Amino acid sequence: MMFLADLNGAAGYFLRRVFQKMIFTRRASKLILSPGVRFRGIDRIRIGDAVRIDEGACLDCYPQAEGIEVGHNCLLERNVTLSTGPLPASIIKLGQFVSIGVGSVLVAHTKIVIGNNVMIGPLSYITAGEHVTDLIDIPICKQGHRGQGVSIGNDVWIGTGVTILDGVTIGDGAIVGAGAVVTGPIDPYAIVVGVPARLLRFRSHKD
């Protein structure tokens, strides 16, 4: 795969499909790997069927992490990064029919769990974890990480340039407006906007 990663055209797609069975623990059918896709910790990455991963995407697992799971019929657009941190049991889990827009970054020091039929707009950032800052006599970069995780329900639309911080839970059917910074829980079918994100209205009458 190292030699085939940057091979363009139909030949590149075909050869990557042939050789992917040698590197993945589960062989995915109808998997499309575009040129320039990078994997680290491949033994902990599980890819579903009919997944498309576009140019420049990177799936990166630390040795201690539980891994990355991408469900069936998902789309990772150009330059998307999925990265698990060094804490044990760190995981990113995508359900089915999840699309992640160009340049978005998901970093899990604990868990990021995303349901089915979720759309994440370009240039969004989701982090499940934070730096420990308890001590002032030790540099922050040496104090490690901790986190509560991020959970996103089914049928959620996350707009362009959204930031979702650790500890957030987003309910089914919610919409997060472009550029919002989400710091707390979002109810099902809520529409939120702003920095920090605040309730605009509900999609239904369940006030």
Domain limits of the chain? 58-202
Tens-digit pLDDT profile for residues 149-164: 999 999 999 999 999 9
Q: Which of 148, 170, 167 is nearest to 159 (CA)?
A: 170
C-alpha to C-alpha distance for 137 and 103, rounded to whole angstroms: 36
Query: What pLDDT is recorded for position 87?
Result: 82
Give the active site residue among 72, 131, 145, 205: 131
Superfamily the domain 58-202 falls into: Hexapeptide repeat proteins (2.160.10.10)
CA atoms of 179 and 121, how far apart (whole Å): 10
Q: Looking at the predicted structure, is the pLDDT value of residue 16 above 70?
A: no
pTM of the model: 0.84
Neighbours of 204 (CB within 10 A): 10
Is residue 131 annotated as part of the catalytic site, yes or no?
A: yes
pLDDT at 206 > cutoff 60: no
pLDDT digits over 186-203, tens only?
999 999 999 999 999 999
* Whether the Cβ atoms of residue 54 and residue 31 lie closer than 8 Å to each other: no
- What is the b/e burial string over 48-70, where b = at least 16 CB atoms within 10 angstroms of the residue's CB? bebbbbbebbbbbbbeebbbbbb
